[in-house]
Chain A
């Protein structure tokens, strides 16, 4: 039965699309967080919640990997793959919105800022993860290998972050919530946008999760 023929799925997807529209409206109409940057600063309202989401999803890939290796239940493999796919999509959004903001703020599209660099490296590791899942061997093998790479990628995060941070200490001017922006504490705004994004993620995850199971059943 097609996914959207199910009434609840259709309602959920409809709400997700409506919330995305509201989200874009909020991001555009809010005052810029830093007056000097004008409208370019507004991209920060989407950049920060998207970053939280992407790292949360990659964290969930690690958790799914640990669960799969310990419990050996294929459901965790499907979850891990769905988290990785949606996480990589959001990582791509970080890598797009970050440079758009960085150019007017710092004068370069790519300033080697630690968080942005960590995102790029994780993104590359996960591109390798998808290649491994495609060419790594039989289904049972790639599930195990995928779980290991998912854990390995997240273990690498603090090492990447601190090495880039020490490498370019002058990049510590990265905006910190409450200190850099005119409007003071933006945490509640970010939290609202994050909640809206979460709804879209759940919808996307449901679709990807179902596709992964259908693919598996088709192969078997």
Chain B
């Protein structure tokens, strides 16, 4: 059973990655932006989710500037805070350099993550970090649009865990997806690559 689950995970992730065309993006001066391989296929796009104040918002409302988007859940005490803190640290570095950057945390556990809980969680890392939740359908649609994977583990109805992908996506308001970061990228690397794309695309 465990092997089957791992197998399906690999398959799902592989299927997601299958949409990617691997190229290396360059900035206006022909210099590659960081060492991240960049997908040119459609990642992201329209979504409808619920803000921390309980209002319905769309991608247009949320991604108003270069934005780092991460999918996780607040019951996760280890990886999600670690990655969110890193994304916040990248935002602080970029802000110090004079860049206007947004950060977004989308829960893939809307059953437990109410607007207030996901909002509090996001604010814990950066005052401006936007926490988003929604109905199960809305969250699923957003996750699919970003080609992220999540799977609720079986077990306790209250204290269950959720497997989930840990990429962070750099999105721009007009042009959409720019690149993604893996979890072993540092805040400094994310800031450097993001600044490169801002120079290229803004």
A and B form one complex: no
